[in-house]
Structure 1
Amino acid sequence: MMWKIVRWDRIETEPIFERHLGVHELLVMLAPPKPHCAFGTACDSRPEGQERGPDICSWCKNMSFDALYKRAEAQADTRLLKRLIDAWMHQLERDNSERIRRGWPCLCASKDPEYRFHAWRRDFNPKDSRLCGTVRHRGQLCARCYRTAQEQECTWLAEFDGDRYGFPCVFEDHRLRRPVDANWKIGPLDAQGHPDPNWEKDPRRHGRCERARFKNQLCQKCFNRMCEIRGFGRYFDTEWGMLRGGMGV
């Protein structure tokens, strides 16, 4: 058997890119991928829109579902776009459920499925491609969304206590720990001068309060516990469960 000896010192080396590719092709390979979106030119992340792609871009995913479905209705491929929007919604639902189950940081309120049909969420468009950050409390806006809402002067921020949707129940509001607040916290007294045991919140029996919709308001759990107690209307509005007169802050 004969063996062929290869002389490595005589092999000519030739840059493969120079042999097969021109300068233009090299630049194309090195350039970052062009942004794309399933909405194509209807995507308003840029004045001219984006190249059509297989998925919804991050700009559009920051919009409300209400706005996305309306935009899809105006396109020729409505059914495809709605399937993509549905898939995005289900992805957020799974992510949210897993975070709750594992005790992980929460989704920004603008991504939380719990708020997708709220009026404030339907009206809010961050107009930004950046992803939302996670938050400590459910119903809280991430730093980017809260800052953007302030810059856009969104009137719905009146429904938020800072960056968090809703307000603490009056029994958990740290601003209502003044000496004068002892009156409504004890509540009406019976003929023997004793308060009703179901009036003041007992964390061991009543659990944690929920968020209230308005400032100076009882949460739904406390309202349900207290509203039938005689004398309730002396301290709280009987329809909304809000502190009367000047008792709030």
Structure 2
Amino acid sequence: MRWLHQFGSLPYFYRISRPLAWSLAIPGLMLAAYGIYGGLVLAPTDYQQGDAFRILYIHVPSAWLSLFGYTSMAVAGFVALVWRLKLAEIFLIAAAPVGASFTFLALVTGSIWGKPMWGTWWVWDARLTSELILLFLYLGIIALHNAIESPRTAARACALLAVVGVINVPIIHYSVEWWNTLHQGPTVTRFGKPAMEMDMLIPLLSAALGFTLIFGWLTLWGMRVQLLWRERRSRWVGRMVAGNSDA
């Protein structure tokens, strides 16, 4: 419990956030590089989709991060609304642009993948439409935060939107099972044996884990920026800047 209270302290979090961010960045970049190289170069050609399937090594991790990012923001939003924890508010705001970037990447790579598979860049498919709505939710949180002058009021409004909007996450995940869509069904997360050979699956899992660590790295750096801006008038920030300590 003492460690938990320490982690909730803004000065303590700022001190540990830099080494924590680098501990995520280095393995994240290495895993992502191996996963993408293994998928684009080492993995065998798919017998149905040919080499066009290789874009999934970027598309699938990006799509996973779009859902994971928003879900984590909704959890942080709930904590911020109930317990008024500043660190949860800061995480919510810092994670939004990172999650929006991965969501946009998922939509773009999905369109590139869909062109040779479906013969079109875009269809108003249940999975694609709900993923596009997720991007709008991310952008709405970013816009709402920038539109409200008071940081705490803005954070509470963003937290409420994140909690309400999380209903879209299960809709995205189960859309291919609930409706008749062009998007293929689950491949890795299906019950039983995944519908991929191990020499294809291992690079994909490596890329997904690497992208997840990169998400954490970028979010931590964003939290450091948000924390300094929000606490710029506090004594501990003033002392840190005056002493040029860990700035």
TM-score normalised by the chain length of structure 1: 0.22
- Answer 1 or 2: which has greater helix percent: 2
TM-score normalised by the chain length of structure 2: 0.23
Highest relative contact order (Cα 8 Å, sep 6+), 1 or 2?
Answer: 2
Q: Which of the two has higher C-alpha Rg?
A: 1
